[in-house]
Amino acid sequence: MRALVEIEDLSVEILRGRGKNGQVLPILRHIDLSVEKGEVLGLVGESGCGKTMTILALMGLLPEGGRISTGKIWFQDRELTALSRREIEALRGKRITTIFQEPMTSLNPLLSIGEQMKEILYRHEGLKGKANRDKCVSLLQAVKIPEAEKIYDYYPFKLSGGMRQRVMIAMALSCEPELIIADEPTTALDVTTQAQILDLFNELRGRTRSSFIFVTHDLGIIAEIADRTAVIYAGYVVEECSVAALFERPLHPYTDGLMRSRMGRRNSNRANLYSIPGVVPVPGNMPPGCPFAPRCTYTTEQCRAELPPLAIPSLPEIEGGHKVRCWRQVS
């Protein structure tokens, strides 16, 4: 039996420019990921590593010039990459829903909250009139929006960022989707609101049967919300394991660097602030070999020359589900 979502050997590239000057930029490289029923998969990595692009490929929403160059994506035994535009549109918003970072860009400023919520329930479930309104209000209540009846008639600009994100979550829950994808849903919020929204997600995952893909650049959020995690660097998955294993024993130097920067941030002593030296390489200008080699303290000749496989390390104490793409762990 397949998992709910299976991404197999997914590569995505973007064509920039035309004709002779046209350039093919590799964005994602041979990504393998799966999400089980009821599971929360955390996708973590610095900005520009390919998290959003992975989501967009899964949703069939790659930007202009973008295409899948290798691989397949399965959702409940259906190959998404082989579906027609209409078939995939029928899944989106109903079976697979998304919550993005900035709710103001996802909400239509010209329509009231109720009008936007109503539309989803009408389109996908054929709900009308009072039944539709009642369901919308109960969804707003489910995401702990006070005075839901009143908020139903509000326009988005009247709500705070946190409240708008709650509305987006309510909309994402409308049709009881099998998969909810949240792409940095708390990044634009202040710390207190962020904590409240994370609490809400945690509560929802206990209450719904949905699976989640939770995208973040913050390992602290992974710790709070995910069951399993994939660390993405420069378009590659570099480490994949349970969250417990990730915090107990990160095996990739990149993951370790993310972990150390995180701890530095918690510490009030600025002298202890750590950040990984260098920057994420840009597509079209990737180093040969391991993409992390230029920033890594353990780099050898082999790292500079050859890409390591994503493999289960040969350490006896490592559980089978833990995979890492690093020459140090390949025997």
Ligand X SMILES: Nc1ncnc2c1ncn2[C@@H]1O[C@H](COP(=O)(O)OP(=O)(O)O)[C@@H](O)[C@H]1O
List the beta bridge partners of residue 74. Answer: 6, 79
User: Closest separation between CB of residue 81 and Mg ion, Å?
Assistant: 21
Mapped onto helix, strand or coil, the DSSP state of residue 180 is strand
Provide the edge-to-edge strand list for the sheet that holds 211-216: 96-99, 179-183, 211-216, 40-44, 228-233, 236-242, 323-324
Task: Report whether 172 contacts 94 (CB < 8 A).
Answer: no
* Binds 63: which of Mg ion, ligand X, none (CB < 5-8 Å by kind): ligand X
Burial call 96-131: b when 16+ CB within 10 Å, e when fewer: bbbbbbbbeebbeeeebbbebbbbbbeebeebeeee
Task: Report whether 59 contacts 95 (CB < 8 A).
Answer: no
Fill in the amino acid letter for 9: D
User: Closest separation between CB of residue 50 and ligand X, Å?
Assistant: 4
The count of chain residues that interact with ligand X, using the rule CB under 6 A, is 14
Residue 84 neighbours by CB under 8 Å, 6+ apart: none
By DSSP bridging, strand 179-183 and strand 66-75 are: unpaired
* Binds 291: which of ligand X, Mg ion, none (CB < 5-8 Å by kind): none
Please pick, from the candidates 42, 45, 71, 289, the single residue that binds ligand X as defined by CB under 6 A: 45
**Judged by CB, which is closer to Mg ion: 34, or 52?**
52
Q: Can residue 52 be called a binding residue for Mg ion (CB under 5 A)?
A: yes
Which residues within the stretch 8-37 sit at the binding site for ligand X (CB under 6 A)?
Answer: 14, 25, 27
Stretch that binds ligand X, among 50-58, 84-92, 141-149, 246-254 (CB under 6 A): 50-58
* Cα–Cα dist 91/222, whole Å: 27
**Judged by CB, which is closer to Mg ion: 29, or 118?**
29
Q: Can residue 187 be called a binding residue for Mg ion (CB under 5 A)?
A: no
Which residues within the stretch 182-201 sit at the binding site for ligand X (CB under 6 A)?
Answer: none
Stretch that binds Mg ion, among 20-28, 47-55, 202-210, 246-254 (CB under 5 A): 47-55
**Judged by CB, which is closer to Mg ion: 51, or 164?**
51
Which residue, among 294, 300, 262, has the nearest Cα to 281 in the 3D structure?
294
* Binds 14: which of ligand X, Mg ion, none (CB < 5-8 Å by kind): ligand X
On the CB side of 14, how many CA atoms lie within 13 Å of its CA?
17
Which residues within the stretch 53-72 sit at the binding site for ligand X (CB under 6 A)?
Answer: 53, 63
Please pick, from the candidates 50, 60, 71, 114, the single residue that binds ligand X as defined by CB under 6 A: 50
Chain residues that interact with Mg ion, rule: CB under 5 A: 51-52
Chain residues that interact with ligand X, rule: CB under 6 A: 14, 25, 27, 45, 47-53, 63, 282-283
